[in-house]
């Protein structure tokens, strides 16, 4: 387990932690929205260095994890068809569908390729005009501009054999859904800095005011997270509920205007199902009518797909912040990175993967690295 002494500025980390400890007078439950933040928290033991009164709840901020099983099965069906080149980021290949994953499709003869950009898939379609090339377009607002650009480029270059299987989701409606859940314990949010770098912060003041929760836009480095926690605790202790930008080096209130224009041209807002959570209104994007010819769901007519979730997997409760990964009976036993029951165990941003990788194996604490008691900075 890595601790604060490996940060770039140990003295600043000590000061931030000391202020958080001095400020905290009562229990508070904070949700970090992004899976990347979750991994940073668990990797560096940040949750173990905070006051015991502060609980960090892991939110539904892993785009691979919240991609619904129905969409995974649609991807598997398309990838299995002859004449198709199915392109995806590597995270998706081991995500279990109903009975198989993309690796098994590839081992059975399907042409499944890992790419590093949706534009790589467009280039494959240009070079192989006799094949149907499909890119699996998943993710939050951060990946939407690049996926929109891929479709826009394919149309501009006259590449008809490219299409996009879209499963985009949006963060603010997910925050709304979390707060409206009867089981919600969340009192504040650390918002994902990379999402806000694209979209800006305009949707958050309404959420903060309506639900009376602080929302602090936070980066991903350990010091970023500590600063986000510090600001959040200050607001909670004062009874405030504002939006603060603790990540100004990357986030502006207005976001990225060019990226926003591209998203608005290619996509339109739609209801979207989230794996383990259910349908959230207006929480996703789909291709607009102007780009419907590039919609892989329509092109391959995969509307009638039957799915079956694992009865053992509790990843839905993990994604909602209701349990920690190591509170699931399957965690580390029948569910491991080699034999995953759900996407939270295989995604690089999944909470279950973080707990397994950094040895948070049971009992809500780190077996390999018990919480230090002598100093908040070790």
**Dihedral sign computed on CA atoms, order 324, 101, 97, 284:** positive
Q: Are 173 and 181 in contact, with CB atoms under 8 Å apart?
A: no
CATH architecture of 67-170+271-300: 3-Layer(aba) Sandwich (3.40)
Q: What are the residues facing 192 on neighbouring strands?
A: 218
As beta bridge partners, residue 295 has 164
Common-topology check for domains 4-63+174-245 and 67-170+271-300 = yes
Q: Which long-range contacts (CB under 8 A, 24 or more apart) does 3-7 make?
A: 3/44, 3/45, 3/49, 3/372, 3/377, 3/378, 4/44, 4/49, 4/222, 4/377, 4/378, 5/377, 5/378, 6/44, 7/44, 7/221, 7/222, 7/223
CATH class belonging to 4-63+174-245: alpha beta
**Mean pLDDT, residues 120-146 taken together:** 97
Q: How confident is the model at residue 9, as a pLDDT?
A: 82
* 317 phi-psi bin (left φ>0, alpha ψ -120 to 50, beta other): alpha
C-alpha–C-alpha distance, residues 129 and 58, integer Å:
44
Q: Which two tokens stand for residue 254?
A: 């207005």
Task: Write the pLDDT tens digit of every residue in 228-253.
Answer: 999 999 999 999 999 999 999 999 99
Residue 42 · residue 248 · CB < 8 Å: no
- Residue 75, Cα to own-chain centre: how many angstroms? 19
Cβ neighbour number for residue 297 with a 10 Å cutoff: 20
Q: What pLDDT does 373 receive?
A: 32
The model's pLDDT over 290-337, given as tens digits with 9 standing for 90+, comes to 999 999 999 999 877 767 777 888 988 898 888 999 999 999 999 998
Q: State residue 136's pLDDT score.
A: 98
Beta strands in 49-187 (DSSP E): 54-58, 84-88, 111-114, 132-139, 162-169
Nearest to 284 by CA among 182, 378, 371, 167: 167
The mean pLDDT of 15-41, rounded to a whole number, is 96
Q: Tell me the percentage of the chain whose pLDDT exceeds 70.
A: 93
Instruction: Say if CB 195 and CB 63 are below 8 A apart.
Output: no
Domain-wise residue ranges, the chain: 4-63+174-245, 67-170+271-300, 315-352
Q: What is the mean pLDDT of the chain?
A: 90
Mean pLDDT of the 67-82 span: 94
Q: CA-to-CA distance for 373 and 316, rounded, in angstroms? A: 33
Taking 80 as the threshold, does the pLDDT of residue 73 lie above it?
yes
Question: What is the predicted pLDDT for the residue at 6?
Answer: 43
pLDDT band, very low/low/confident/very high, at 348 (cuts 50, 70, 90):
confident
Please check whether residue 58 is in contact with residue 318, taking contact to mean a CB–CB distance below 8 angstroms. yes
Tokens 């209104």 sit at which residue? 281
User: Model-level pTM?
Assistant: 0.88
CA nearest 314: which of 275, 272, 366? 275
Give the separation between CA 9 and CA 250, rounded to whole angstroms: 20
CA-nearest of 278, 268, 211 to 241 is: 211
pLDDT at 184 over 50: yes
Would you state the pLDDT for residue 194? 94
Q: Write down the residue that tokens 């391959």 correspond to.
A: 300
């Amino acid at each position: 387990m890595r601790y604060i002494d490996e940060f770039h500025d140990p003295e600043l980390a000590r000061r931030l932690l000391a202020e958080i400890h001095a400020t905290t007078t009562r229990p508070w439950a904070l949700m970090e929205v992004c899976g990347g933040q979750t991994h940073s928290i668990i990797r560096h033991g940040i949750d173990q260095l905070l006051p015991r009164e502060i609980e960090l709840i892991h939110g539904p901020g892993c785009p691979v994890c919240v991609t619904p099983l129905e969409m995974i099965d649609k991807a598997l069906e398309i990838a299995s068809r002859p004449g198709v080149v199915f392109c995806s980021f590597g995270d998706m290949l081991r995500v279990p569908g109903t009975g198989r994953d993309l690796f098994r499709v590839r081992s059975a003869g399907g042409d499944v390729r890992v790419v590093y950009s949706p534009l790589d898939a467009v280039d494959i379609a240009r070079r192989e005009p006799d094949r149907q090339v499909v890119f699996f377009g998943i993710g939050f607002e951060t990946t939407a501009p690049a996926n929109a650009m891929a479709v826009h480029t394919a149309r501009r270059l006259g590449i008809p054999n490219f299409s996009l299987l879209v499963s985009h989701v949006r963060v603010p409606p997910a925050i709304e859904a979390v707060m409206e859940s009867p089981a919600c314990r969340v009192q504040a949010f650390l918002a994902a800095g990379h999402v806000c770098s694209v979209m800006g912060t305009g949707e958050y003041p309404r959420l903060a005011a309506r639900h009376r929760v602080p929302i602090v836009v936070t980066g991903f480095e350990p010091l970023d997270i500590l600063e986000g926690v510090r600001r959040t605790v200050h607001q909670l202790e004062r009874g405030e509920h504002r939006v603060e930008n603790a990540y100004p080096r990357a986030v502006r209130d207005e976001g990225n205007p060019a990226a926003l224009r591209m998203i608005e041209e290619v996509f339109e807002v739609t209801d979207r199902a989230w794996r383990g959570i259910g349908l959230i209104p207006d929480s996703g994007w789909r291709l607009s009518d102007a780009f419907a010819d590039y919609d892989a769901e329509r092109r391959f007519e995969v509307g009638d797909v039957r799915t079956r979730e694992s009865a053992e997997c509790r990843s839905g409760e993990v994604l909602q912040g209701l349990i920690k990964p190591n509170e699931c009976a399957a965690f580390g036993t029948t569910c491991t990175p080699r034999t995953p029951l759900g996407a939270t165990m295989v995604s690089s941003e999944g909470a279950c993967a973080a707990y397994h990788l950094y040895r948070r194996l049971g009992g809500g604490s780190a077996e390999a690295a018990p919480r230090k008691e002598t100093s908040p900075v070790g």
